[in-house]
Structure 1
Amino acid sequence: MLNEQQSLAAHEAIELHEAINFKTLCVAKSKLMQGLVFDQELKALMEKDVVQSIQAITELQAVYAKAPFQMPIREYRPTPILN
C-alpha cells in the first residue's frame, strides 16, 4: 500500500487506469444483463457483484489519484450530437 509521499510509476498508473475501465464495463454489463434475468437468486448475485464492483472502483480511483501525471483538458470540445 502506498503511503502519503509515494506516487505511482507511469506504467502502474496506466495499468490501474485499464483496471478501472474494465471494472466499469463489468458494472455496466451486469446492470444491463439484470433486465434479461428472471431467476431471482441470479439477479441478487448480479446486484451484489455490482455493489462490490462499485466499491472496488472507488478504492482504485483513490489509488489512481496518486498518479504523478494528469491529462490536460482540451480547450476545444466537440459539440455533442443530440438527434
Structure 2
Amino acid sequence: MTWSTLLFRGLEVWLTARLLRSPIFHRMVGRVHEKIQHVRHGVPPEQMGGTKLENNGSGIKQFFDYFKEELKDQAKGNPRNKL
C-alpha cells in the first residue's frame, strides 16, 4: 500500500463516521424509509386524518348538524344508506 491509499482510506473512514453521526442524514434516511413504506403498504390510516374534528370549531358544528340529521332520519323511520 502506498501512502496516498492509506491517506484516502483514513479520510473515507472519517467522512463515513461523520456522516453517520449527522442528524440531517438520519432524517433523510427516515423520510426515504417512510416513502418506501407508503409505496409498499399505502398510507397508514392515522396519517390520513380519519375522522378527526377540525380545531377551528367548524368540525364540531358539522358534527352536530350531522347528528341532528341522523336523529331526524331515525325518528322518521328511514335510516340512510351508509355506504
Q: Which protein has greater RCO, CA pairs closer than 8 Å, 6+ apart?
A: 1
Task: Choose between structure 1 and 2: higher helix proportion.
Answer: 2
TM-score (norm 1): 0.32
Please tell me whether Structure 1 or Structure 2 has the larger radius of gyration of its CA atoms.
2
When the two structures are superposed, what TM-score results if normalisation uses the length of structure 2?
0.32
